[in-house]
Amino acid sequence: MKLNIAVAGSNTMNAEEVLDAVRLILGNLVRDAMLVITKEITDANMADLFICATTQAEELAKRVPSNKIIVLDLQPTSQFFVEVARIPVGQTVYVFNSNSKYAKRLVESCHRVGIREVEFILLGYEELSEQKVAASLRNAKYIIGIAKQVGETILLSPPYADFLRTDVHIIGIHRVASMQSACLLIQWSAAYFQQTVTRQVAMLTTKLRQAVVQNQANDEIGDLSCIANELERLLTESNQLIFTMHDAVMKSFANQISPHITMVDYYKKSAHSKTTDPDGSSNREIVETLENISSLNEKYLRLSKKLSAIK
C-alpha cells in the first residue's frame, strides 16, 4: 500500500525543508515523495496528499482541494531562541529570508518568547534589489534565518557572500512541525490507509460471498464463508482501532495545553473530561492501540495464507 505525497514550496529549497520535517513524522512513508513548486502545480491528481508550510497554504489552496492538503506549521527549535537571546541588548539583527512574510513571523516568534531588546530588520532577498540587500549585509553583524538560506546554498555563496562582514555572526534555524500540525498529518495518513484497507476488504468480502452463492456444491464453501465473516469482523475492528488511535493522539496533544480540556468519545458519543493521570494513561493507551494494530496485521496475514491455500 503506497501513499503518493507531493511536498510543495515556493522553490525547491523550501520544499526540501518541508520534506525534512515530514520525514521526522512519517519516516519511510515519504521515501518516494516528490518535490513540487506550488505555482507550477496544474494537476491536483498527481498525488494523494499535498503538504506545504504555512506560507504556501493560500497559494496551494487555489490549485488543490482542501481535503488533499496538510499545512505544516514549521517552528524553530528551542535552541534557536537560546542563541538569539544571547545577542547583546541594543544590537541590530537582520532576518534573512526569501520573503518578508516568513521573516515577519520569525520576529513575532522571538517577541513571544521575550526577545525584545534587539532591533529586527527584515531582509527578504527575493523581494529586494541586489543593491539593497548588499547594503544591508555590509552593515549586518548579526543575521538570523532558515539554516539552508543562511548557509552555503544562499547567503554564504556569491553574490551575497561577497557583501558579508568578516565579524558577522550567523544563526541558522532548523525548523520542525508543531505538535498540532504533526498530529493532523498523522491523522490524515492513518485515515487514508484505513480507508484503503476498508475498500479492499469490502471488495474481497463481496467476492467471497459471491463465490459461496455460485458454488453451492463446493466442499470449500464453509471455509470461504468463515473467512468472509472473519474479514468483516476484522474490518469493524480496524475501524474502531483507527478512531481509538486518533482519540489517543489528540488526548496526548490536549494534555500539552491543559489536562482539563473536554474531549469527545467516538463510541459513547458523550463528552468527558480528560484529567492528568500520574501513571501516563494517555501514553499507555497509544502503546496498547499500536499493539492492537500490530495484532490486526498478523490476523490479516493469516487470512491471506488461508486464501492462498484454498486457491
Q: Is pLDDT of 278 > 50?
A: no
Residue with cell 529586494: 128
Helix (H) / strand (E) element for 267: namely none
179-214 and 12-26 are packed helices; what angle lies between their axes, rounded to 10 degrees? 70
The reported pLDDT for the residue numbered 247 is 56
Averaging pLDDT over each range in 195-209, 256-270, 293-307, which range is the top one?
195-209
Q: Is pLDDT of 257 > 80?
A: no
Angle at 121 between CA 116 and CA 126, to 5 degrees: 140
Task: Provide the 10 A C-beta neighbour count for residue 136.
Answer: 19
In this prediction, residue 299 has a pLDDT band, given cuts at 50, 70 and 90, of: low
Specify the higher pLDDT residue, 294 or 102: 102
Length of the chain: 311
Grid cell listed for 157: 555563496
Q: Residues 57-65: what's their mean pLDDT?
A: 96
The reported pLDDT for the residue numbered 260 is 42
For the ranges 42-51, 160-169, 223-232, the lowest mean pLDDT is seen at 223-232
In this prediction, residue 231 has a pLDDT band, given cuts at 50, 70 and 90, of: low
Which candidate, 24, 80, 77, places its Cα nearest to that of 51? 24
The reported pLDDT for the residue numbered 214 is 65
Specify the higher pLDDT residue, 78 or 308: 78
Q: Distances from the Cα of 293 to the Cαs of 23, 87, 111, 197, 296, in angstroms?
A: 22, 49, 43, 13, 5
Q: Is pLDDT of 35 > 70?
A: yes
Task: Provide the 10 A C-beta neighbour count for residue 45.
Answer: 9
Q: Residues 255-269: what's their mean pLDDT?
A: 40
The reported pLDDT for the residue numbered 28 is 74
The reported pLDDT for the residue numbered 122 is 97
Residues 210, 214, 216, 219, CA torsion sign: negative
- Tell me the residue type at 84: V
CA dihedral of residues 16, 20, 25, 27 (deg, nearest 10):
100
Residue with cell 518516494: 32
Q: Residues 51-73: what's their mean pLDDT?
A: 94
E strands present in 117-165: 119-124, 142-146
Contact present, 231 and 198 (Cβ < 8 Å): no
The reported pLDDT for the residue numbered 149 is 93
% of the chain residues with pLDDT over 70:
66
Residues 140, 125, 75, 112, CA torsion sign: positive
The reported pLDDT for the residue numbered 45 is 95
Q: Residues 166-183: what's their mean pLDDT?
A: 89
In angstroms, rounded to a whole number, what is the distance separating the alpha carbons of residues 34 and 84?
A: 34
Q: Is pLDDT of 67 > 90?
A: yes
Q: Is pLDDT of 154 > 60?
A: yes
Specify the higher pLDDT residue, 248 or 163: 163
Q: Note if the pTM is more than 0.85.
A: no
In angstroms, rounded to a whole number, what is the distance separating the alpha carbons of residues 251 and 9?
A: 31
In this prediction, residue 310 has a pLDDT band, given cuts at 50, 70 and 90, of: low
Q: Is pLDDT of 49 > 90?
A: yes
The reported pLDDT for the residue numbered 267 is 35
Q: Residues 144-160: what's their mean pLDDT?
A: 94
CA dihedral of residues 132, 137, 141, 142 (deg, nearest 10):
90
What does the H/E/C string look like for 163-222? Answer: HCCCCCEEEEECEEECHHHHHHHHHHHHHHHHHHHHHHHHHHHHHHHHHHHHCCCCCCHH
The reported pLDDT for the residue numbered 77 is 84
Mean confidence (pLDDT) of the chain:
78
The reported pLDDT for the residue numbered 186 is 81
